[in-house]
Structure 1
Amino acid sequence: METKHLYFNTSIGVQKPESIRNKEQACPFCARDELTNIIAVDGPIILLKNKYPVLENAYQTVLIETDDCHGDLSSYSKEHLHRLIQFGIKHWLKMEQTGKYRSVLFFKNHGPLSGGSIAHPHMQIVGLHHLDYSVTAVPEMFAGIVMAEEKDGPRFTLSTRPRVGFYEFNIEMDDSCYQERFSEYLQVAVHYILNHFPFKTSSYNVFFYHLNGKIYAKVMPRFVTTPLYIGYGLPQVPSNLEWMAEELKRIYFS
């Protein structure tokens, strides 16, 4: 029977440094002269092989976003934002095109509830040998209330059928070429979560998907996950989506 699970190597996992909660931990990404297995560099942006490959049957890489340990996607200059997202998408799709992997994940953790361990801004690109993430990526999870869109260009929505539940922001663009508004909408979603969200949060995830000729980014604020989703896989849809969509449009697009 085909497996549907990723296997986590705990003997490697216990060796990983943790600097999100442990502020005394030296940041491994700040010691740039000591980094090894570097794949590509673009100024302050570095892609390298993950030193702690905890996932079995996978090829794991880390994308260090900046040389500023306290930087964040929400506050990058437009120049650095576009440079970073273009770099990430380029190497993500390049890994896909090798044909070595069943599918390739591209994602970002930020904050103590995001599932990450290093505070320094980074993303991960992971090639999976035996699993295809697209099997569970249904079109309806990217549908929602439109908050901004360009003619024949990127589209920014708030999910009405969220994947996990409650509030999920979606950005989509055609995969034929990079469009700047895609990254700018992504930055708006992250900035709104960290600065204007109605519930205090310091954690979020960004997940990228390449499906049917489109590139999607799903941005999720992270809280303690609802037990109804953990126990039964039941996503919940909040009653104030229309209010939130209007509030975000008022702040960023009015």
Structure 2
Amino acid sequence: MENEPLVFELSVAKGKPHSYRKTDLKPSCPFCAPDKLTNIYQKRGAMIWLRNKFPTLRDTKQTVLIESDNHYGDLANYTVSYNRTLLRFALACFRRMQTSGDFRSVLWYKNYGPNSGGSLMHPHMQIVGLNQIDGYQNITAQNFTGITVFNQKVVEVNIATFPVQGYEEININLLELTAIDLWADWIRSGVRYLLNVMFNGHCDSYNLFFYPRQDGGICAKLIARIAAPAYFVGYKLSQVNDEKTLQDEATRLRHFFAKGSKLE
């Protein structure tokens, strides 16, 4: 049955550590003790891909990719070189699950901040194989299009005119796998822009979703986590800002990248 919801196993979630839970005055971070981690698939320096210890979703294989040994790390503050290596490693892990043939679909995403829906502050991504459900059934190619910020044929960046949720989403499209480094640089700049400029520095949380494109590329979509529009919550109707606002946002993002592309 299409549009079937994922089933959350509440009993599995009990006891799961939570960095943002106010009752946990000193929450422990399992990712800060890498020597105690188990069910590890692959490592690259401080990057560790492993099975999720708390598989809360039924009929799935949930995995976690620990990005760094820095508890306060993020795509916004990694060096250019580290960020590029991370995105290459994460893409390889995603491809490994995606091409295994074991799942109907494989999802790759990142939560950041207290309003992102994540539970642990330590920087990590998630790669989840869905046994029965097509996780992309409500996503179309239009969701990756918008007002152009940058286009070098191998990487195209835009402000979405057909957002998944709204109001403003940044699409960073990798069109040729040879351009992963440029793509990673734009993702890094996009995160910095979202957290520091887009909402005048008032946004502290985001989601980053990675979608396989029909042409073989990947779209990285940045969505700020602020209050979701009521039309989306109640009717699954996304909202988008007016054309002038989106044009202004595209111009600001273009200038932000150009100014900060003397990356350290």
TM-score tier (shorter): over 0.9
The answer to whether 1:222 aligns with 2:225 is yes
The answer to whether 1:246 aligns with 2:234 is no
Shift of 1:171: 0.8
Distance 1:167 1:238 in 2: 7
Distance 1:208 1:177 in 2: 17
- Equivalent in the alignment of 2:46: 44
Could you tell me whether the CA contact under 8 Å between 1:45 and 1:63 is conserved in 2?
Answer: yes
Shift of 1:26: 1.1
Distance 1:70 1:155 in 2: 30
Of 98, 103, 106, which residue of structure 1 is paired with 2:105? 103
- Equivalent in the alignment of 1:232: 235
Could you tell me whether the CA contact under 8 Å between 1:86 and 1:178 is conserved in 2?
Answer: no
In structure 2, do the counterparts of structure 1 residues 250 and 177 end up closer, same or farther at CA, with 3 Å as the change threshold? closer
- Equivalent in the alignment of 1:203: 205
Shift of 1:20: 2.7
Distance 1:98 1:245 in 2: 38
- Equivalent in the alignment of 2:194: 193
Distance 2:194 2:177 in 1: 29
In structure 2, do the counterparts of structure 1 residues 222 and 23 end up closer, same or farther at CA, with 3 Å as the change threshold? farther
- Equivalent in the alignment of 1:17: 17
Letter in 2 for 1:195: N
Letter in 2 for 1:133: G
- Equivalent in the alignment of 1:159: 160
- Residue aligned with 1:229, SS: helix
Shift of 1:23: 5.2
Letter in 2 for 1:237: V
In structure 2, do the counterparts of structure 1 residues 82 and 24 end up closer, same or farther at CA, with 3 Å as the change threshold? same
Could you tell me whether the CA contact under 8 Å between 1:134 and 1:211 is conserved in 2?
Answer: no
Distance 1:143 1:201 in 2: 23
Shift of 1:192: 0.4
- Equivalent in the alignment of 1:8: 8
Could you tell me whether the CA contact under 8 Å between 1:175 and 1:214 is conserved in 2?
Answer: yes
Distance 1:68 1:23 in 2: 20
Distance 1:136 1:216 in 2: 15
Answer with 86-95 or 16-25: which moved more. 16-25
Shift of 1:129: 0.4
User: What is the number of equivalent residue pairs in this alignment?
Assistant: 253
Distance 1:248 1:178 in 2: 20
- Equivalent in the alignment of 1:88: 90
Could you tell me whether the CA contact under 8 Å between 1:113 and 1:224 is conserved in 2?
Answer: no
Letter in 2 for 1:12: V
**TM-score with structure 1 length normalisation?**
0.95
Distance 2:87 2:240 in 1: 30
Shift of 1:188: 1.0
- Residue aligned with 2:76, SS: helix
Question: Structure 2 unaligned runs (5+)?
Answer: 260-264
The answer to whether 1:184 aligns with 2:185 is yes
Of 147, 150, 155, which residue of structure 1 is paired with 2:149? 147
Distance 2:151 2:176 in 1: 16
Could you tell me whether the CA contact under 8 Å between 1:30 and 1:69 is conserved in 2?
Answer: yes
- Equivalent in the alignment of 1:112: 114
In structure 2, do the counterparts of structure 1 residues 55 and 218 end up closer, same or farther at CA, with 3 Å as the change threshold? same
- Equivalent in the alignment of 1:169: 170
- Equivalent in the alignment of 1:31: 33
Could you tell me whether the CA contact under 8 Å between 2:156 and 2:175 is conserved in 1?
Answer: no
Could you tell me whether the CA contact under 8 Å between 1:17 and 1:118 is conserved in 2?
Answer: yes
Distance 2:226 2:128 in 1: 24
Percent of matched pairs sharing the same residue: 38
